[in-house]
Amino acid sequence: MLWYTGKRLLQIIPVLLGATFLIYFMVFAMPGDPIAALYGDRPPAPGVIDQIRDQYHLNDPFIVQYFYYLIGIFQGDFGVTYSGQPVTEVLARTFPVTIRLAILAIFFEMVAGILVGLISGLRKGGIFDATGLAVSLVLISLPIFVLGFVAQYFLAIQWGWFSPTVGGDPGFVDLILPAIVLATISFAQIVRLTRSSVIETQSLDFVRTAYSKGLTRRRVVPVHILRNSLIPVVTYLGTDFGTLLVGATVTEGIFNVPGVGRTLYQAVLKGEGPTVVSFVTVMVLLYLVVNLLIDLLYAVLDPRIRYA
């Protein structure tokens, strides 16, 4: 396990460097002179320009600039937003909200998705299964902002079950509607994944053994079938986290949830390029770390991975 962890940690380094390099390159390629943009119509004295260029290492070659940027990231310096707040400060304020939203969404999609997927898989070809497959196909096809608006219009505005916007400092209860919307697309994927995994596991030898030694269905289904069907679902959570990040940006924008996603959404809407880049960098780093953790968790669950 230690060896595997070490190998996996080493593997993430080139990806980390590459990802930050790509993001930095995209920003570097941005047309226009950042100093000129700072001043507008009245250019400052040439000496001032030189001083600023020196201060921000703008005279250095691209690769050196990237190096400074990388050091900044490792020191927790993600730059400042347009209004002059350090990105880290904004993160400290907005992050807990997004974490709450994400936990709630992951909870909904896992519980509901695994339950529906399990029943569908066990009753393959039945009415429940057919309905589940059809509904999940429709849900996968709905872009998250469409789903968000439909839910907001019908559940909140028309029927008044929820508040249409969140705002303020929301607790778990306020976040139920956005979390359901955020969970929906992954829910459909989890249903399909669990279903096919259950069908596959069901026909394996150890399940037959379990039945033939006299265990009841109530014991075989949760202990033998479900547990062994969950491994692909756990790995899916890694890819899903990317969807969740993008989804959070849209959902938090629609429901006015004061999280990281809404901050990114508003920065994008206002065209605040540097802020967008800072937040995307943070999200990508987060995505990489979460995927690393899930890979490690996966190795704990399945010994075959560790020794492969």
Partner 1 sequence: MPDTSSSKPRIEHYVAPLEETPLAAIDSVKTEGKPSNLWIDAWHDLRRRPMFWISSALILIIVFVALFPGLFTNESPNEGCQLANSNGAPVPGHPLGFTRQGCDVFARIVYGAGTSLSVGIIVTILVFTLGVLFGAFAGYYGGWVDGVLSRVGDIFFSIPYILAAVVIMSVLANYRSVWVISLAIGVFAWPATARVLRSEILRVKNSDFVTAATAIGVSRFKILWAHVVPNSIAPVIVIATISLAGAIVAEATLSFLGVGLPSTFMSWGNDIAQAQTTLRTAPQVLIYPSIALSLTVFSFIMLGEVVRDALDPKARAQR
Which residues contact partner 1 by CB under 8 A? Answer: 14-16, 18-19, 22-23, 26-27, 29-31, 124-125, 137-138, 140-146, 149-150, 152-153, 157, 196, 199-200, 242-243, 245-246, 249-250, 253-254, 264-265, 268-269, 271, 273, 276-277, 280, 283-284, 287-288, 291
Cβ proximity to partner 1, 208 vs 270, nearer residue: 270
Residue 89 is inside which H or E element, if any? helix 87-122
For 33, 34, 59, the CA distances from 53, given in Å and listed in that order, are 11, 10, 6
Determine the number of helices (DSSP H) and then strands (DSSP E) in the chain: 14, 0
Amino acid 245 reads L
Cβ proximity to partner 1, 186 vs 249, nearer residue: 249
Q: Which two tokens stand for residue 95?
A: 């992050």
Please report how close the Cβ of residue 122 comes to partner 1 at its closest, in angstroms.
Answer: 13
- How many Å apart are CA 99 and CA 5, to the nearest integer? 26
Please report how close the Cβ of residue 268 comes to partner 1 at its closest, in angstroms.
Answer: 5
Cβ proximity to partner 1, 86 vs 164, nearer residue: 164
Cβ proximity to partner 1, 53 vs 124, nearer residue: 124
- How many Å apart are CA 276 and CA 249, to the nearest integer? 11
Cβ proximity to partner 1, 220 vs 245, nearer residue: 245
Please report how close the Cβ of residue 30 comes to partner 1 at its closest, in angstroms.
Answer: 5
Please report how close the Cβ of residue 171 comes to partner 1 at its closest, in angstroms.
Answer: 25
Per the listing, tokens 């995927």 go with: 291
CA dihedral 30, 35, 38, 42 (to 10 degrees): -130
What is the secondary structure of 163-220 as a DSSP string?
-S---SS--TGGGHHHHHHHHHHHHHHHHHHHHHHHHHHHTSHHHHHHHHTT--HHHI
116 near 191, Cβ under 8 Å? yes
Cβ proximity to partner 1, 9 vs 111, nearer residue: 9
Please report how close the Cβ of residue 129 comes to partner 1 at its closest, in angstroms.
Answer: 10
256 near 174, Cβ under 8 Å? no
Cβ proximity to partner 1, 1 vs 137, nearer residue: 137
Cβ proximity to partner 1, 143 vs 171, nearer residue: 143
- Paired with 80 in beta bridges are 86
- How many Å apart are CA 270 and CA 276, to the nearest integer? 10
Please report how close the Cβ of residue 70 comes to partner 1 at its closest, in angstroms.
Answer: 15
Please report how close the Cβ of residue 294 comes to partner 1 at its closest, in angstroms.
Answer: 13
Q: Which two tokens stand for residue 147?
A: 């789903």
